A and B are shown apart, each in its own frame.
Chain A
Amino acid sequence: MKVLMFGWEFPPQSTGGLGTACYGLTKAMSRLGVNITLVLPTTENITHDFVRIIGANVRLKGIKSPIRPYMTETQYSRQYRKSSLYGQSLFDEVYRYSMAAEQIAREEDFDVIHCHDWLTFEAGIRAKSIANKPLIVHVHATEFDRTGGLSLNRHVYDAEKRGMQAADRVIAVSNYTKNKIISHYGIMPEKVSVVHNAVDHDRSQPSEDSGLKKHSKIVLFLGRITLQKGPDYFLYAASKILQIEPNVRFIIAGSGDMEQSIIQKSAELGISDKVLFTGFVSGNDVNRAYSMADVYVMPSVSEPFGITALEAMKNNTPVIISRNSGVSEVISHCLKVDFWDINQLANKIIGVLRYRELSETMKNHAAGEVSRISWSNSAEKCITEYNRALRGENG
């Protein structure tokens, strides 16, 4: 099986769960004998160094483009407006990427096309029309998740919908996302399959003691500081918790468009000294952050999946997750909250911090649970979808 895959971020050059998911999935598929050519929009030529990371079956093609997956159009134009080298907007870049895709589709030999999220959907549609091969679109997030349903970007929504409609099969990262695809994009349920994400068990786990941990309990938020991830709810809960547990420290690890306002808000709440911002973290620092935390909190407003919850569990950290998440469909040994219910969020965080028996029981069971969630499972399901698409099943 040869797959022409369109992605847009990949470790180590990645900023979110999407790169992690592509990495885990392609690595597991290559182990199952699938030959993947991964097309990434990138300004730099990725070296063989990278191929070594992912395994021999994956080849990379570079397209000159500065697209970053989680960039909004506003951010994009702020950053690149002055440069004549690049297109006038994010959508120009998506267009250039898709034109390049046409060329690649002519040159490459493949059986199916697999696209990850809206930036690559147009590329996939063009590759399909050139090569007349089945198209699988993989939905890791929708515009409804990114915006919380507010001020939806019409262009993005249209690009998502076009991709889903043109696809032979649609893969959703959760039932939560599948429902959105059906209800907001009008796609037939029979065409959409759920392939849950997983977590990579291969990487080594550092567990060094941090100085901070000796003196205080640590509550961790790790993710982009954007509306979708609910950092504001985390902060309000922190403020409530500190009223009765003053010796707790809150770490906000990540960056994003709400970063400034969240820093400001923590000052307004008078808890700046208890809330620590790390900025963007990557690589081993991510594992380090999980290991030092007494509890990991994912209060997302809308989380299509939420791999970070699995990573935290893998690092032996109890997790509290939003009910509006895909990961809540695959794990039970955690606490679940409505993201808006600050009282419950604070109550559960304090519970985990106060009672050793609770956090120990959660950790013990979570370790077993997360060990059974593997990318090879997800990879097998993707291959099933390829075969269904090749047989012409689209319902």
Chain B
Amino acid sequence: MVKVCLYFQVHQPYRLRNYTVFDIGNTSNYFDDEKNANVLKRVARKCYLPANQVIMELLEKHPEFRASFSMSGTVLEQMERHSPEALESFKSLVRTKRVELLDETYFHSLAFIYSKNEFKEQVRLHNQKMQKLFGYKPRVFRNTELIYNNEMAGFIEKMGYDGVLAEGADHILGWRSPNFVYKPKSANRLKLLLKNYKLSDDIAFRFSERSWQEWPLTADKFSSWISAVNGNGVCVNLFMDYETFGEHQWDETGIFEFLRHMPGEILKHKDNSFRTPSELVKEHEPAGELDIHNMISWADVERDISAWTGNSMQQAAISELYRLESEIKASKDNSLLEDWRRLQTSDNFYYMCTKWFSDGDVHKYFNPYESPYDAFISFMNIINDIKIRVKRCQTTKNKNKDD
């Protein structure tokens, strides 16, 4: 019996505008509202709406079908503003009770690595947003970009979650298979679900790659690969960006037709079925314990955190940002706190990555910058403005105290 677990990541950041050194101290308008609105509307039209429609059809057609989503707070806010119809279609999926929502950090941040305190607050904010928008209380957690290690699992267990998602990277698994439920070394009852990156990436990255020997990927071919797992595993976790459908892989590639037919083909085999992460966690005892000390993620071939923290610009930008935490929080200035949090979105650091820059690749997706160097300059200029605002808050407070 193979249980297929579909999980889709839905996220859009608040992209920064081109903020120059001459703006520092003069304007605290950091975000490119026009570009963000345009991107959101475009993604809603090309991906969220048509893909949700297909998912809904599948739910109606196959009683066994399940899907799960994790949506960042930043994409939800932008949907509320620019595409209420997309948000509504997600809500109708959730109402079927066969679609699960996961928690993550509200700002799609790297907070776990830099501030546990901030991490906790952002996870809570996200949980509240899920309850408010969907009337749903997630039980399973996925961290930004599937960033994970033992410590994270322990922390998340203490926060009360039942399960957590991670990348099934070869260098961690070794001889082991991602097609089982595991237990993190640091946890007692928390369960770990691992991405089957080969089968996930066949859809997310290779689907339209004509040089790939398996191209074109058809629903029945893919379902035969799923069925082949019978006997060697209990689940196949297909984790990917939701933008795979219609954005990374355009409509013209046939990706929506694939999505429409793939579940039916999988269900033709009577031993196959679909599950949400919570269902998997409930139904299976861990097949083993996984000891993952170093941070892993689902990014690039390295599957580590070097895409966000690999060069000295990224390290400087992140440490400057988190250094401001206590002063920002002491300021009690909500707009300052909100801006500071939006700056934490991991995309801001991803844009500064120099690893793949010369080749031009996935890092380019909706990247507003010409180079990682431009990304860094805008970000650091903004940090300088934030510092001025922090100072201003402190001066006003001291003044009030004196009065």
Contacts and interface: CB of A to CB of B under 8 A. Distances in A.
B394 interface: no
Given A351-B380, A357-B312, A357-B316, A332 B358 contact: yes
A361 interface: yes
Contacts of A361: 311-313, 354, 372-373, 376
A346 B354 CA distance: 23
Contacts of A358: 313, 373, 376-377, 380
A336 B354 CA distance: 16
B312 A335 contact: no
A348 B377 CA distance: 7
B374 A335 contact: yes
Contacts of A347: 20-22, 377, 381
Nearest to B315: A357
Contacts of B312: 357, 360-361
Interface string B314-358: 011000000000000000000000000000000000000010011
Contacts of A351: 21, 373, 376-377, 380-381
A346 B357 CA distance: 24
Contacts of B381: 347, 351
Interface in A306-363: 332-336, 343-344, 346-348, 350-351, 354-355, 357-358, 360-362
B128 interface: no
Question: How many of chain B's residues touch chain A, expressed as a range?
Answer: 20 to 34
A256 to B, nearest CB: 30
A320 to B, nearest CB: 9
A369 B316 CA distance: 23
Contact of B316 (A240, A355, A362): A355
A145 to B, nearest CB: 23
Interface string B351-381: 0001001100000000000111110110011
A362 B373 contact: yes
B316 A344 contact: no
Nearest to B25: A244
Contacts of B354: 333, 361, 365
Interface residues of A, number: 23
A336 B20 CA distance: 15
Chain A at the B interface: mostly helix, strand, loop or mixed?
helix
A240 B20 CA distance: 12
Interface string B298-311: 00000000000001
Contacts of A362: 373
B22 A335 contact: no
B310 to A, nearest CB: 10
Contact of A335 (B18, B316, B357, B373): B373
A388 to B, nearest CB: 29
B22 A332 contact: no
A369 B315 CA distance: 23
Contacts of B21: 244, 346-347, 350-351
Given A332-B357, A335-B374, A336-B371, A343 B22 contact: yes
Nearest to A355: B380
Contact of A355 (B20, B311, B372, B376): B376
B321 to A, nearest CB: 14
Contacts of B370: 336
A351 B374 CA distance: 9
Given A244-B21, A351-B21, A332 B371 contact: yes
A335 B313 CA distance: 15
Nearest to A362: B373
A276 B311 CA distance: 35
Interface string A102-142: 00000000000000000000000000000000000000000
B394 to A, nearest CB: 23
B22 to A, nearest CB: 6
Contacts of B380: 351, 354-355, 358
A219 to B, nearest CB: 14
Interface in A344-393: 344, 346-348, 350-351, 354-355, 357-358, 360-362, 365, 369
Contacts of B313: 355, 357-358, 361
Contacts of A369: 358
Nearest to A360: B312
A360 B315 CA distance: 13
A21 to B, nearest CB: 24
Contacts of B376: 351, 355, 357-358, 361
Interface hub of B18, B21, B311 (most chain A Cβ within 10 A): B21
A58 to B, nearest CB: 34
A148 to B, nearest CB: 24
Query: In this complex, which of B20, B358, B373 has the most chain A Cβ atoms within 10 angstroms of its Cβ?
Result: B373
Interface in A251-284: none
B316 A343 contact: no
24 contacts: A240-B22, A244-B22, A332-B357, A333-B358, A334-B371, A334-B373, A335-B374, A335-B377, A343-B20, A344-B20, A346-B20, A346-B21, A346-B22, A347-B20, A351-B21, A351-B373, A351-B376, A351-B381, A355-B376, A355-B377, A355-B380, A357-B316, A358-B373, A358-B380
4 closest Cβ pairs, A-B complex = A351-B377, A347-B20, A357-B316, A357-B312
Given A244-B21, A361-B313, 18 more contacts: A332-B357, A332-B358, A333-B357, A334-B373, A346-B20, A346-B22, A347-B20, A350-B21, A351-B380, A354-B380, A355-B377, A355-B380, A357-B315, A358-B377, A361-B311, A361-B312, A362-B373, A365-B354
